[in-house]
Amino acid sequence: MELNDADRTKALYRRGLAYGLLKEDDAAENALIEALTHAKDDKAIAGELEKVRNRKKEKRAKEKAAFKKMFA
């Protein structure tokens, strides 16, 4: 079964949402980036991608602070 671009974009977006809910941020980001390549002007995809990237940034900051306390 072949998907047209609109269906493929929707599937990638939903996959990104699902990975996001599972806190699989790298996989979510990859799926959303791929979806965004098919629909460059889609604000929902761009917004979700921004949320995932912010969550990754916050997670890195927390890890950095935790490691800083361990080795201080």
Structure-block tokens of residue 54: 């912010």
What number is the average pLDDT over the span 43-52? 97
Query: What pTM did the predictor assign?
Result: 0.86
Provide the domain count of the chain.
1
Q: What is the pLDDT of residue 69?
A: 81
Q: What is the pLDDT of residue 41?
A: 93
The pLDDT mean for the chain works out to: 93
Handedness of CA 2, 20, 51, 29 (dihedral sign): negative
Structural domain of residue 57, as residue ranges?
5-70
Residue 66 sits in a domain of what CATH number?
A: 1.25.40.10
